[in-house]
């Protein structure tokens, strides 16, 4: 799940300035197993142990150990196989079909291989022999600490990490999951508090702001897109949708957090919620058959022409129904990612000009440009929340009204 573009994809850690969370580990036992297993030196050492164990087992190698290790190094150098250990190479690589066939057909060999793999993957059990090698040095510890400084890894009680961006097993708790949960709690608390204050006749700045948002969603989105008669039924959903997307968008402006709406999984989930409400409301209003029939606009055609044209139009309309909801997801994602890309490009100008005579011009321009883009992202955060909610209202309105 790693991303070279400002960690746009989700991660299993929070990033802070290194000075606030320095890593000062001094021994192998202080590092997590997954982190050590990602080290190419450790993976080479582990691969050598596995090959040696295979040589002493009933599994016959088709080539020399050196050739097999060289093939593994070449396979691991591909981007798709980055940081994958030797056992994954044997179990997944197309070139190792011989090994996969043996494991599938020979249960004894499979059991033997599981034991070899478990012994090689036991980082703690192999601590003495690994720390005795030249690869495990004060320089390597310092490099580990440098890479881990500033990273607050999220505890994973329900699974194990493969790396900072992917789970090896179980259910992971990611950074965006925490931000989404916190955002939902904040919305629930503020709205509940505002409701209690309004019912008691009290006023505050928070309640006034929330009331303005509510009236805006009701009068400028729900009523124009869904209609006066049905708007009140969907105002709570649209209001929640707007506030949730807005808060998620605004989190992207806060340094070291990132916007969850820059994740395809988040925007897709939001679009699926809208399509579920649209279909559910349409079926509740017209029934299943009536909802499907309502996808075709009314046309005064002779029955002979209708037999030919209506099925084609129905297919086009149903496809369009799902496509426009998919575009709803992609539009929000693209707009939130675009801001990160522009910031990256602007700051890249200053970095690329380092050491050149033009640096004194490029650096201030990049800084001012980044600040300007950040201000623009503030506007985009509100705009995209509005656009997503407005289009959601349009799609729901289309689902519950006759065409």
Percent of the chain whose predicted confidence (pLDDT) is above 90:
8
Using CA atoms in the order 326, 328, 331, 336, what is the torsion angle rounded to 10 degrees?
Answer: -110
Report residue 358 as tokens. Answer: 């033009």
Give the bridge partners for 333, in sequence order. none
* pLDDT at residue 7 in the model: 42
Instruction: List, for residues 206-255, the tens digit of each pLDDT value.
Output: 778 888 888 888 888 888 888 888 888 888 899 899 999 999 988 888 88
Minimum mean pLDDT among 33-42, 93-102, 200-209, 349-358: which range? 349-358
How far is Cα 256 from Cα 179, in angstroms, rounded to an integer?
12
Predicted confidence at residue 3, as pLDDT, reads 40
* Pair 255, 262: CB distance under 8 Å: no
Within 10 angstroms of residue 392's Cβ, the number of other Cβ atoms is: 28
Please check the confidence at residue 78 and state whether its pLDDT lies above 80. yes
How much is the CA Rg of the chain, to the nearest whole Å? 28
| Measured distance CA(195)–CA(204) in Å, rounded | 12
Residues in the chain: 403
d(CA 356, CA 361): 10
How much is the average pLDDT of 155-176? 84
- Does pTM top 0.85 for this prediction? no
Cα dihedral: 206, 211, 213, 215 (round 10): -170
Taking only the tens place, the pLDDT of each residue in 197-214 is: 878 877 778 778 888 888
Helix axis angle for 264-293 and 303-352, nearest 10°, is 170
To which H or E segment does residue 75 belong?
A: helix 65-76
* Enclosing H/E stretch for 339: helix 303-352
């Amino acid at each position: 799940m790693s991303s070279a573009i400002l960690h746009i994809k989700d991660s299993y850690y929070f990033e802070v300035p290194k000075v606030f969370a320095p890593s000062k580990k001094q021994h192998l036992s202080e590092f997590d197993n997954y982190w050590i297993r990602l080290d190419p030196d450790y993976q080479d050492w582990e691969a050598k142990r596995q090959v040696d164990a295979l040589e002493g087992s009933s599994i016959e190698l088709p080539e020399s150990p050196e050739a097999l290790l060289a093939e593994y190094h070449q396979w691991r150098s591909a981007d798709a196989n980055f940081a994958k250990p030797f056992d994954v190479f044997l179990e997944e690589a197309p070139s190792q079909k011989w090994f996969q066939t043996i494991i599938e057909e020979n249960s004894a060999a499979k059991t033997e291989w599981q034991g070899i793999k478990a012994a090689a993957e036991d980082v703690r059990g192999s601590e003495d022999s690994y720390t005795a090698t030249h690869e495990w040095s004060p320089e390597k510890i310092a490099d580990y600490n440098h890479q881990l400084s500033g990273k607050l890894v999220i505890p994973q009680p329900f699974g194990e990490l493969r790396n900072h961006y992917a789970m090896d097993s179980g259910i992971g708790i990611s950074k965006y999951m925490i931000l989404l949960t916190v955002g939902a709690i904040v919305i629930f608390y503020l709205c509940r508090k505002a409701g209690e204050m309004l019912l008691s006749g009290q006023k505050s700045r928070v309640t006034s702001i929330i009331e303005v948002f509510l009236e805006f969603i009701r009068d400028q989105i729900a009523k124009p897109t869904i209609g006066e008669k049905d708007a009140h039924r969907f105002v709570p959903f649209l209001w929640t949708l707007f506030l949730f997307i807005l808060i998620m968008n605004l989190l992207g402006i806060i340094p070291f957090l990132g916007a969850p709406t820059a994740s395809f999984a988040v925007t897709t989930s939001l679009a699926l919620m809208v399509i579920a409400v649209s279909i559910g409301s349409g079926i509740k209003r017209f029934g299943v058959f009536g909802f499907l029939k309502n996808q075709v606009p009314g046309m005064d055609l002779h029955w002979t022409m209708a037999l030919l044209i209506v099925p084609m139009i129905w297919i086009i309309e149903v496809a369009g129904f799902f496509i426009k909801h998919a575009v709803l997801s992609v539009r929000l994602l693209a707009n939130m990612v675009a801001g990160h890309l522009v910031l990256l490009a602007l700051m890249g100008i200053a970095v690329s000009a380092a050491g050149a005579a033009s640096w004194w011009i490029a650096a201030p321009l990049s800084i001012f440009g980044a600040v300007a883009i950040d201000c623009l992202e503030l506007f985009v955060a509100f705009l995209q929340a509005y656009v997503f909610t407005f289009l959601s209202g349009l799609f729901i309105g289309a689902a519950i009204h006759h065409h």
